[in-house]
Structure 1
Amino acid sequence: EEGPSPRACRLPPRLAWCSIDWDRLRLLHPLGAGGFGSVYKAIYCGATVAIKQVKKCNKNRLASRQSFWAELNVAHLHHNNVVRVIAASTRAPSTQDTLGTIIMEYVGDSTLHHVIYGTDCIAAERKDDELPHGPVFLTIAQAVSYSRDIVAGLVFLHSQLIVHLDLKPANIFITEQNVCKIGDFGCSQKLEDAVSSGPQFCQQGGTYTHRAPELLKGERITPKADIYSFAITLWQIVTQKEPYLGDRQ
C-alpha cells in the first residue's frame, strides 16, 4: 500500500494527538459503503479497528468535507456507549480518491436496525446466539437494555455539547457483548457556549424519517432534536415496524 499524499493538508493542532501512524495500518476487507465513503476492517497498532475513508464528492464537496470534520467531534471522547475515534488524517493513500481517513474502534457489523428487522446474517456469526434470527419481537429486557444504552450515550454526548442529528437504528452498533454504541457522527454538530455565540442552525443532511420537525423547518439546533430521534427509534424497538411507509422520504 502506498503512503499518504504529501500534498494533503494536516489536522489542526488540537487534533494532532490522533494523527495516523501509516506504517502500523493494514487494511483487511470492506465492511460497507455509504453516501460519504467506505468502511473497512483493518489492523492498527496490533488491534482490530474500523477505517472510514470519506470520499471526495464532486457534486457536493462542502457536504463531504463537513461530514469528515463532523466525525471528529467525538475524537477526544471516551464512553462505553459511543464509538471511539482512535486516529484520523486529512491525508489518504494516493491510490484512494478520499478526502480523509478516520480510524475507529471496531464494534462489529451488527446494528440495531439488523436486530429490529432481522436483516443480514449477523446472528449466525454470534457464538452465544444472543441476537434473534429474523424479525421476532425483542424481549422487554432486551428493549430496556438497548434503550438504556442509547440514553446513556446521548446524555454523555449532550454533556459535551454535541448533538448527533442522525440518530437511528442503522447508526447504533451492537457489540458482541450486546452493548449499544452510538456511531456515525457525520451529521453531528458541536454546540458552542450560548453566552459566546448565537443560535446554531442545521446545515447538513440526515434521515428525514427521524428528523425533528424544528430541524426540517430550519430552526435552531438543541439536544431536543436527538430526543425526538430517540423517540422514533424507541418506537421502532417496541413495534419493530418502519416509522413511515411510501416510495419517498
Structure 2
Amino acid sequence: MGTLGMAVFNQQKVEDFYDIGEELGSGQFAIVKRCKEKSTGVEYAAKFIKKRQSRASRRGVRREEIEREVDILQELQHPNIITLHDVYENRTDMVLILELVSGGELFDFLAQKESLSEEEATEFIKQILSGVQYLHSKKIAHFDLKPENIMLLDNNIQRPRIKLIDFGLAHRIKDGVEFKNIFGTPEFVAPEIVNYEQLGLEADMWSIGVITYILLSGASPFLGDSKQETLANISAVNFEFDEEFFGSTSELAKSFIKQLLVKDTRKRLKIQDALNHPWIKDKSATVEVQTKVESQQMKTKRLKEYTIQSHSSMPPNNTYANFERFANVLEDISLVEMGLEKVAQNRESLQDDVEALLSIYTEKEAWYKEESESIRQELSQVRYKFRKAEVLRKGLQEDLRTTDTSLASIDSRYLTREAHLGSLRQELNAELRWLQEVMGSLNGEAGNKGFGSISALNNEVNEALKELLSKDCGGDLHPQVQPDI
C-alpha cells in the first residue's frame, strides 16, 4: 500500500487482483461492491469513491478528504470497527478494499426479532460504546454515527458482532485547534454542529443518545416534518419520553439517554462515563421485569416501521452510471436552491450592513466635522501666537545687536580713556620729580630763613598743584595719581 505522506496508492488495476461482484450499497459519490481477492479467495467490500477532477467541480470527493479517511482507517484495529485491507487508485476513482461486513444493519436485525429486552439492547449498545471508546482514545471523532453505519459482521450467529463503518466524515481532534463544520445526517447531529460551534468527540456521544432512544422506542427524538424543523428541535433540545413509546422503559435507560442528549458539551456524558453508567455496566440493574410481552413486541413493531420508513426515504441503489447521473442532477438542483437561498440571505444581510454602515458614516462625518472645526480654531490660535512670538524674537535679536554695538563703543571709549590716563600719569610723575628737586633746593635755602615762611609756601604750592591737576584731568583724577606733595 502506498504511504499517505506521498499520497500515492496502488496504481495497478484493481480488477487484476480482485474479482468485482454485485453492488452492496451506494452513497452520493461512492458505491460499494462485493469482491474476492484472486490470490487468497477471501471476500472483501470494494468502496469506489469518485474523485473530484478539478477545484471548480462540485462532483466527486476532494482528494484530501479521501486521504483523510484512508489515513484514519489505516490506524484502526478493533473488533467493532471495519478494517482497511488495501487502497487502489485510477484516473477517476479511489478504491478502498475493506473488510466485508455482510450481516446488514443492526436496526434491521433487531426489527426482525419477535421482541427485544433492554438487556439485549444494552449488549449491542455496549459494543457500539466499545468501538467509540477506541476511536476517542485516539482522539478520532466519527461524526456520522447513525443506524445505517452500525452494521453486523454476520447475522447468522447467536450474538452478532457490531461493526462501525463509513469513516468519510471522521476527523482527528487536535487540542487548541478550532474545528467547525456543517455535516452529518440532520436527525442524528449534535447541537454544536447545527449552531456551527467548536466540534469535538462529544458530538459522537449525542448521536449515541439518539440511536439509543430510537432503539428502545422506534421513534426519533428530534425528527420534524422538515429539515429546518428537525434542526430547530435539536438546537432547542426539544424531546420527551412519550408514555406511548416509553411506558415500559426503565428509569435507568431514560437517565442514560437524558445524560447524552445534553446541549452543553461539558456536561454531556463522555465515553468512559457512558460505559460506567449503571444501565450499561450492571446487568442486574438494566433489567426491570417486563410482564407485558405486548409492550416488548410493540417496541420491535415500531422499530420495524422506523427502519422501513428510513430505508424508503433513502435513495435506491442504482447501477453506477445511473447513480452518478441522478446524483449529479440532484446535487445541481440542491446547489441551485442553496445558492438562491444564500443569495437572498446575503442580500438581506448586505442591506442591513449597508444601512448600519450609512448610519455609522453619518455619525462619524458629523463628529469629524466638529473635530476638524475645533482643530482648525486651535490651529489658527497657534499660528497667531507663533507670529507674535516670531515678532518678539526678531525684536529681541535687534535689541541684542544694539546692546552689542553699545558695549563695543563703551569698550573702545574705556580703552582710550585708560591710555590717556596712562600718559597723564607719566607726565605727572615727571612734574612731581621736577617739583621735588625745586623743593629740595628751596629747603636748602630755608635753613638760613624762618621755618614758618617755608611751610606756608609749601602749602600754597601744594594747593596750586592740586588745582592745576584737577583742571587738567577734568576733575576725574585716578586715586593712584593723587599727588602727595
TM-score range, shorter chain: 0.7 to 0.9
Question: How many pairs does the alignment contain?
Answer: 214
Greater RCO (Cα-Cα under 8 Å, separation 6 or more) = 1
Q: Who wins on radius of gyration, i.e. which is larger?
A: 2
Question: Shift of the alpha carbon at 1:115?
Answer: 2.9
Aligned to 1:102: 96
Could you tell me which residue of structure 2 aligns to residue 29 of structure 1?
Answer: 22
The answer to whether the 8 Å contact 2:49/2:61 transfers is: no
* Residue number in structure 2 paired with 1:246: 225
- Correspondence list, 1:152-231, <5 A: 152-176=130-154, 177=157, 178-192=160-174, 194=175, 197-202=176-181, 205-231=183-209
Change in 2 beyond 3 A, CA 1:114/1:69 = farther
The alpha carbon displacement at 1:220 in A equals 1.3
Task: State how far apart, in whole Å, the 1-side matches of 2:42 and 2:6 are.
Answer: 24
Structure richer in helix, relative to its length: 2
Greater share of strand: 1
1:184-237 Cα deviation digits (max 9, x unpaired): 111111123x2xx522222x5210111010111111121110000010011111
- Paired with 2:75 and 2:140, the residues of 1 have a C-alpha distance of 12
Following superposition, the deviation at residue 139 of structure 1 comes to 2.5
RMSD of aligned Cα (Å): 2.6
Matches within 5 A, 1:7-46: 12-13=4-5, 19=10, 22=14, 23-44=16-37, 45-46=40-41
1:57 CA drift (Å): 5.5
Please give the secondary structure, in 1, of the residue aligned with 2:19: strand
> Secondary structure in 2 aligned to 1:165?
coil
The match for 1:78 is: 77
Distance 1:165 1:78 in 2: 19
Could you list the runs of 5+ residues in structure 2 that have no partner in the other structure?
Answer: 231-485
CA deviation profile, 1:147-184 (whole Å, cap 9, x unmatched):
00000000000011110001011101112141111111
Q: Cα offset for 1:30?
A: 0.7
State the identity as a percent. Answer: 23
Tell me, what secondary structure is at the counterpart of 1:75?
A: helix
Q: Following the alignment from structure 2 to structure 1, what is the Cα–Cα distance between the partners of residues 6 and 209?
A: 35
Q: Which runs of 5+ in 1 are unaligned?
A: 1-9, 119-131
Partners in 1 of 2:138 and 2:24 — Cα distance? 29
| Residue equivalent to 1:115 | 109
Question: How big is each residue's C-alpha offset from its partner over 1:76-118, in whole Å with a ceiling of 9 and x where there is no partner?
Answer: 21100101111113x13x6xx42x11111001150123235x4
**TM-score normalised according to structure 2 size:** 0.41
Partner-residue secondary structure (3-state), 1:53? strand
TM-score between the two structures when normalised by the length of structure 1? 0.76
